[in-house]
Amino acid sequence: MPDPIRLVTYTALFLFLTLTARPSLAYSPAYSPAQSEAQIKPPDEYILGGPDTTVREGYFILSLDNPPTSDLTIQQSADADFSSITTEFNWFGDFSATTLSGFADGTYYFRVNTAAGTSNVIEVEVLHYPLWQAFSLFFAGLLLFLIVVLLIVRMHWVTHDRDH
């Protein structure tokens, strides 16, 4: 074991230096806590991104090319022209991505909306795995699990009886 006093000193110094150091990103304009209205990015400059392939699990990530600098929402519609907006989601904080989940089979359209306008529209297609595939794996797993349980219980009792 290293010398405890020396180790405590080094650990305390390392903690102090590491934890008081601010990452360089914290000093970049995007993270500045006091931004003026003039610095707020126009909505048409946001480029919304989404999954490239068909979504099989009902959840996916939407992303922005840059972290948002003001409040914005994601609008969802069943039509590419957004003739009716199904629902809106708040974009959380200044993160550049948001995860949406719980979508049933279907085609969904999303765009970013701010006080000044809307962004590009992206299309997300959700198609869950077929149930036969899900149940095949489920029952294969169930069978294997029962084998493990029966094996452990039986062998435990056999050795337990033998030992006593």
Partner 1 sequence: MTETTEFALNSSLGLGLVLLFGIAWIAFGWYLGRANKTHEDFALAGRNVGLALASATAMATWVTSNTTLVAPQLTYQFGIWGMVGYSFAALGLILFAPLAARIKKLMPNGYTSGDFIRLRYGQPAWWAFIIISVIYAFGWLISLGMAGGILLQALSGLDYHIGMTAILIICVGYTLFGGLRAVIATDFIQALIIIIGVVFIAWYLIDTVSLESIHQEVSANHPQLLELLFPAAIMFLFNNIFFGLGEIFHSNVWWSRALAFKGKVAFKAFLLGGLLWLPIPIVTGFIALAAPQLGIFPPSADMVGPMVAAEVLGKAGAVIVFIVVFSALASSLDSLLAATSDLITRDIYHKKINKQASDKHLMRFNGYSIVGLGVLTWLICLPQLATLGALLNFAGAFVASTIFPVVLGLYQPRLRGGYAATAMVVGTLAGLAGYFLVGFYVAALVSCLVSAIICAVGVWRCRTAFDWQQMQEQETNT
Minimum CB separation of residue 118 from partner 1 in Å reads 18
CA distances 96 to 7, 52, 68, 92, 99, Å, are 40, 17, 7, 9, 11
| Residue 1 engages partner 1 in binding (rule: CB under 8 A) | yes
DSSP collapsed to 3 states, the chain? CCCHHHHHHHHHHHHHHHHHCCCHHHHCHHHCCCCCHHHCCCHHHCCEECCCCCECCCCEEEEECCCCCCCCEEEEECCCCCCCEEEEEECCCCCCEEEECCCCCEEEEEEEEECCEEEEEEEEEECCCCHHHHHHHHHHHHHHHHHHHHHHHHHHHHHHHHHC
* 110 beta partners: 76, 122
Beta carbon of residue 108, minimum distance to partner 1 (angstroms, whole number):
11
- In the complex, the smallest distance separating the C-beta of residue 150 from partner 1, rounded to whole angstroms, is 11
Tell me which stretch binds partner 1 (CB under 8 A): 46-54, 65-73, 77-85, 117-125. Answer: 65-73
* Cβ distance to partner 1 smaller for residue 120 or 136: 136
Rounded CA separation 97/112 (Å): 12
Closest CB to partner 1 among residues 44, 94? 94
Region 125-164 residues binding partner 1, contact defined as CB under 8 A: 128-131, 133-135, 137-138, 140-142, 144-145, 147-149, 151-153, 155-156, 158-159, 163
Given the complex with partner 1, which of 38 and 131 has the nearer CB atom? 131
By beta-carbon proximity to partner 1, the closer residue of 103 and 118 is: 103
Q: How far is the CB of 61 from partner 1 (least distance, A)?
A: 8
Question: Which 86-125 positions form the footprint of partner 1 (CB under 8 A)?
Answer: 86-87, 89-104
Which 9-28 positions form the footprint of partner 1 (CB under 8 A)? 11, 14-15, 18-23, 25-26
